[in-house]
Structure 1
Amino acid sequence: MHIDELSLDELLDLNEQICLRIDYLRARNDMLMLSHLRLGQQVNFMAPEGRVFGTLIKLNKKSVVIVTEDKKQWKVPPALVNVVKSV
């Protein structure tokens, strides 16, 4: 398929299908990650300020809440969270 040959209506339809597929894949990835997370786990994620470490305090359908040692709370998508492994 060459997108240069598609009409505006065909491109809009293709765009809608792509967006739906992206939403589905993100939701599936979030659900998979949520199944591995437990309250009280030590986790980390990348923020604009750098890597943030904290404790998982709430699990939602589309986000998790993490509290850091300085009591700052972060609400992030589950797919961005990494569990900190004990050594």
Structure 2
Amino acid sequence: MRIEDLTLDELHDLNELICKRIENLRLQNDITVLSQLRLGQKVHFKAKEGQVFGVVIKINKKSVMVVSDDNRQWKIPPG
């Protein structure tokens, strides 16, 4: 298949399939990451302020609550 040969409708259909696949892969990754997290577990992640170190205090379906070493609370995505 050559992308140059596709019609506008075919390109839109392909785009929709690609977007759905990306969403599915991200969901699978999030589920894997969430299954490996435990309350009280030490974690780190990158934020605008730089590297943040903290402890997991709550695990939701789509996010994780972390309290950092400076007692700030962060709601972050699992992936």
Report TM bin, short chain: over 0.9
Q: Which amino acid aligns with 2:21?
A: R
In structure 1, what is the Cα distance between the partners aligned to 2:47 and 2:70?
16
Note the 1:1-87 alignment, pairs <5 A: 1-79=1-79
In structure 2, what is the Cα distance between the partners aligned to 1:47 and 1:34?
19
Q: Which amino acid aligns with 1:37?
A: L
- Unmatched tracts of structure 1, length 5 or more: 80-87
Question: Which deviations, in whole Å up to 9, do the C-alpha atoms of 1:23-81 show, x marking residues without a partner?
Answer: 100000010111110011110011122111001011111111111122211111112xx
Q: Which amino acid aligns with 1:43?
A: V
TM-score w.r.t. length of structure 2: 0.92
Which stretch of structure 1 is more off in the superposition, 69-78 or 55-64? 69-78
Over the aligned positions, Cα root-mean-square deviation in angstroms equals 1.0
Q: Which has the higher contact order (CA 8 A, sep 6+)?
A: 1
In the alignment of these two chains, the number of paired residues is 79
- Unmatched tracts of structure 2, length 5 or more: none
